[in-house]
Amino acid sequence: MGKGYSVEDIRKKLIPILGNSDTGMSGVEISKKIGVNRITMTKYLKILAAEGSLRQKNIGNVTLWYLEPGQESYVFPDDYFKIEPQYFNYLVKGTENQVYSLIRNCLHSGASVTRLVLEVILPAINSVNSMYHDGKIGASELSLLKNTISKSLHMFNHLQVVSDPKKNLLVIAADAHSLLFSEAVSAAYHSEGWRVSQLGDMSSAIDLLFDLDLQKLIGKIWKQKSGILIIVIFSQTDEGLIFFADSVNTIKEKSGKRMKLVLCGKISKKTKVKSDLISEKIEDILQWSKTVSQNIK
């Protein structure tokens, strides 16, 4: 790559240049404006196109480059309020590429994954569920939108993060309706250096042998029992929470204080279930986990 430049340097210079061009620009024009030689500039343009930040159009012997939607320059933390409606608008009215380009650009602009999860992704999940319950979208569109949100969350999981072997997390969704929430919290924990094992929807695993199955898994992902292991269970029903909580508590009694159980979901007042924390608010769970992990020696 060019001496003294990084892909991020080039990206920041490209956004205002291509953002003002409706007709696109050739690699030669771009290299002159940015001050990078043509061959090196072409390498950068191909990298950014592969990431989804740019698109190209060949007209005769000339290749024109265009900025993909969602590539405007942001300044955080000031611009978080802009991203929530923009993400939702791309989700329900735009294309998948617009959604992913927006998330990618937020990350390149220095946005916090946790804040994107809490302030952008979770509101979108709730809004999509409300649209379905209000009859504004059908089951097919609901599934499509949820898949797009899920792919957005997986983008966070692909970020290179140095994990702390003393901070371990196991996430379980007790039903299909809780899956996206479990994926969201997994992405936030991953970005903060937790070693995350995300099991997805485990409703099909509800049987008498689940305790033994879970115990074997915990033995593999938490071999040395270093630091802390927090198990977070998401469920839309009391029954789901109770079943998985009882299974975890059976193992927890043998594992000591370094294993913690968190339940996330609505629980009726009559329901009795043992756990270290019960909360519907993911931000409270994240903060509690941070505090608990700092107190474990």
Digit-coded pLDDT (tens) for 105-114? 898 888 999 9
Instruction: Identify which of 86-90, 108-112, 265-269, 293-297 has the greatest average pLDDT.
Output: 86-90
Of 1-5, 59-63, 123-127, 149-153, least confident by mean pLDDT is 1-5
Give me the mean pLDDT over the 126-145 stretch. Answer: 97
What is the rounded CA–CA span in Å between residue 56 and residue 43?
A: 13
Give me the mean pLDDT over the 45-55 stretch. Answer: 85
Cβ neighbours for 272, distance < 8 A, ≥ 6 positions apart? none
> Quick check: 8 pLDDT over 80?
no
> Quick check: 184 pLDDT over 50?
yes
Whether residue 101 contacts residue 53, with contact meaning beta carbons closer than 8 Å, is answered with yes
Whether residue 156 contacts residue 113, with contact meaning beta carbons closer than 8 Å, is answered with yes
Give the pLDDT of residue 69. Answer: 66
Of 7-11, 152-156, 240-244, least confident by mean pLDDT is 7-11
Residue that wins the pLDDT comparison between 170 and 8: 170
Give the pLDDT of residue 3. Answer: 54
Give me the mean pLDDT over the 42-70 stretch. Answer: 85
Whether residue 1 contacts residue 11, with contact meaning beta carbons closer than 8 Å, is answered with no
Residues, the chain = 297
Mean pLDDT of the chain: 90
Helices (H), the chain: 7-19, 27-34, 38-51, 80-93, 96-108, 113-116, 122-133, 139-157, 179-191, 210-221, 238-255, 282-295
Closest CA to 94 of 139, 57, 148: 148
Give me the mean pLDDT over the 57-85 stretch. Answer: 86
Residue type, 253: E
Instruction: Identify which of 7-16, 91-100, 149-158, 204-213 has the greatest average pLDDT.
Output: 149-158
> Quick check: 148 pLDDT over 70?
yes
Give the pLDDT of residue 174. Answer: 95
Give the pLDDT of residue 266. Answer: 77
SS3 284: helix
Sheet containing strand 62-67, edge to edge, reads 25-26, 62-67, 54-59
Give me the mean pLDDT over the 216-222 stretch. Answer: 94
The string of DSSP codes covering 146-161 is HHHHHHHHHHHHTS--
What is the rounded CA–CA span in Å between residue 278 and residue 262?
A: 6
Whether residue 163 contacts residue 221, with contact meaning beta carbons closer than 8 Å, is answered with no
pLDDT band of residue 4 (cuts 50, 70, 90) is: low
| Helical pair 80-93 and 96-108, crossing angle rounded to 10 deg | 160
What percent of the chain stands above pLDDT 90? Answer: 63
Structure tokens at 154: 């997986």
What percent of the chain stands above pLDDT 70? Answer: 97
Domains of the chain: 7-67 (1.10.10.10), 80-157 (1.10.1240.10), 167-295 (3.40.50.280)
Give the pLDDT of residue 121. Answer: 97
Give yes or no for a cis peptide into 123 (omega within 30° of 0).
no
What is the rounded CA–CA span in Å between residue 44 and residue 47?
A: 5
